[in-house]
A and B are shown apart, each in its own frame.
Chain A
Amino acid sequence: MKLRRFSQISFRNLGARPQRTILTTVGIVLGVGIVFGVITLSNTMSGTFTNLFSKAYGAADLTVTASGGNDSFNHKLLEKIRADKDVKYAAPRLSLPASIIFKGKTRNGLPKVQSMRLFGVEPKSAAFATGFDLAKGRFPRSGAELTLDEGTAQSAGLKVGDEVRIGTPGGPVKAKVVGVLRIPGGSFGGIAFGMMPLPYVQKEFGKPNKISGVAVQAQNGVPVKSLQKQLSRKLGDRLQVEQSSTRTAEVNSQFQGFKIALLFFAGTALFVGAFLVFNALSMTILERTRELGMLRALGSTRAMIARSVILEAAILGVFGSLAGLLFGYGMARGLIFLFGKAFLFEITSLSVSPFALVSAVAVGIIITVLAALYPALRAGRVSPVEAMRARSGIVGSSKKRGRISRLAPLVGLLLIGAGVPWTYHLAKNLSAQLQGLVYASGIAGTVATFLGVSFIIPSLIRPLAAALAPLLRLLFGVEGRMAAANATRNRGRTALTASALMIGISLVIAFATLGGSVLGSIRAYLEGSLGSDYVIEPATSNSNNITFSPKLADRVKRLPGVEKTTSIASTFESKDSQIFFVFGLDRNYPDIFRINYAPGSKSPQNAFSKLQNGQALVGKQLARTHKLKVGSKVTVPGPSGPKKYRVAGIVANDILGGGSGVYLSRDTLAHDFNESSAGFLAIKAKPGSNRQTLSQKIRHILQDYPQFRLYSNAEWKARIESQFNRQYVFFYAIMGVSVAVSAFGVVNTLSMSVFERTREIGILRAIGTTKLQVGRLVVDEGVVISLIGCILGIILGSLLGYLFVRGSGASGFDINYYYPTRPALYALLAGLAIGVFAGLLPARSAARKDIVESVQYE
């Protein structure tokens, strides 16, 4: 390409330093990729949910459900709805968690089980009960007929006419597949979806005469709104009549906080990417000072120079953003896969919206150009006299810089001073309602803190490097000490690079703190209060609310070697974003689980026995937020209106309900909440009994309940932890990208250092420094920089993590703060590794420099 215009010099410059160009672009690619990935992920999520729920709740105009929660109500109400002359049709359904049991076995010899959402439907209105279309066969008519979703049918190789087993509380029942449903997006997020005749479901799941929802279609010409009002007046408070679209929107709005958190992580990665661009361009300009001076001497105006730098950035921005889209697509796929693993909701199809495409590219270009503004202005300010100077390097600007850097720590302290208390305040007081605005201002506080620390870092570099120097000297000899000194030579650059790393590391540490604290609290609870030897739980962890019949508990109880069992039934109710976890306990509960009463509870000895009188125990957090005392009354929303219970005691170690649990007797729960069956059984073995034979016997019983599994204490704890960690992997993956971006920043800084010190390296080599020593000098500098970033990141992350823990505490979960020792250690090791790996390439180029040329280098 022949040069035709001045602006084309920008392209030449990029082409001339491919390594630098690629390094700079990597920042943009990763940043844009993560933004695109996250937007696509959240779009896909909303899209999938909207689609699924709008279909699942029927394409009908209105949906009638019990107010608050997933309760069922008497099917007589259906007749009331049907009696309305404005109702064209009304299709009832009984929606239940169930499981489907396939023929094969898993690797450890246990039956293959999948969670299923089961709809009991009327044969005559089955087609209206959901909005799903039939792909094959027909809807269920009578008996054990099942119409199954296409995804599950395909993955299990089931065809119309095949037989399959369905897990019910009383044990598995055989069902015949009579039809296959087409599900938008392929599957119901990894959960099977099935329809069976309503009477059959009511009988097998112990819900006689109950339904949980009715899809209502208005007569032609009747406005949906007026029918809605009409029906809700008729049906009373206990039932709610909603437009199907509102319900879908509600489901979607529950993702808001999740989406904001995702975007925040994406934002950090982009921010770090912008750092990288800023850094790289500043370096390029330093490198080209004389060239820029010459261009000024030849008559380029300041604006022309600045424009050419911005153009250079814009070119990078365009290409980087486009490449970022590719990366982001892969990333979205990966994230959705991880999301499926973490939250047990598989999404098979990806929805890429034009908005995501355009906004990711626009954000990428804008951020790149913004990051280029300051370097561009500085490039424009290069004096034409620089053209005449022998040495390249900005000399004149040091004075101005001094003034800024004296002010920066102050600004930084101010920002930290504002950001930390603000975040803390939010965490402590407001996060009970984690809404978009609270999230956003919490994020603003966090960002202010990050910025503040970044401003202070330049002043911290020298003492930190000095502190690290003895260690480096010990580890790496004299090169280590020199490297520490080198890192302080351009404090601004070192600080920029280190703060980019700091942000990524501190987020990882903060999340590790939160995760570790939750896990630690769970562990402490289990160790402190679990008196059982085995538990029986649903086999799939996304179907925690399936239940078993009391027969299972009885059979286990009668086994020789079993001393005691206790089963727990549970349900949840929500009102105005406040969630109540309600548990039904039997008399054996305190013999197996130890209950610690909060100080101040009167006569804790007989507090538990008062449950039989219809009183309740409440979690500590709930007591705090509702200002409850022993003897006062707690109001819990229920399927048949709000219920009041006298508080018999306040539980200090309420991990089942995360501090917000309400504990009733099994009878009270069955009576007030229609929940009579349990899904969890804890077993205490007789001392001295043979555990192996006991577990074999229990497993034998469980053959009749393949949707449930037996876990020993150790297995159960491990299961809880792995379920928990799975969710964190998802966030770690996103944060890992921003750490990766900042690692590239270290490479960039080091190559610049090598470039700047060409002559110095030549001299070192001339006086007898070996190639290896020169290389190590560079690597060690990388280690110094990244260790500074990691150490600060660990400190800041622990602090943020503490705030997160407090924040979760306020929302009802009672968590103790556990210091993330292991993650902090890993972060330090990661710091070392990043430093070393980032240093390798620049070190090679330093070691390979020709001595004679370097010494003569001007």
Chain B
Amino acid sequence: MSVEVVVGPLNQKVAHVSRDQYYSYAESLYEDGFHFASDLCGVDYLGNQTRVLPDSVTPERFEVVVSLLSHGSAERIRLRVQIPESDPHVSTLMGIYPGVENMEREAFDLVGIVFDGHPDMTRILLPDGWEGHPLRKDYSVGRVPVQFKGAPGPR
């Protein structure tokens, strides 16, 4: 499996994986002692021209960033997965790291990335009937009236 691992600021290791490699690479990292998923979030790169990626990686609009931690060797590795806008799906990591449940729900809620195989892919912070995903760059701040279930609409 060819996965490009680059070193970022603070000597942080970053692995760029494709969507197909994502689950199996995380599994192999688990075997290597990375038993702890400390963070998972979605990022929207719409309009951001400054992203630096290795040549072998095709940039897409969304990214899922997972931070894994090894308690044994006290080191971190970060997985960055490119997710296309047309098909914002990626497989869930809950089979390896059950602790990402809330974080994946948050990434779905705020950025709109669907994690296939997640047992409870519902909104976690926003109300169930909310429209749109606020952390997307095309979701502007302060223009949408507050939405509440059963509330009267704007005048």
- Whether both chains belong to one complex is answered with no
Interface residues of B (CB under 8 A from A): none
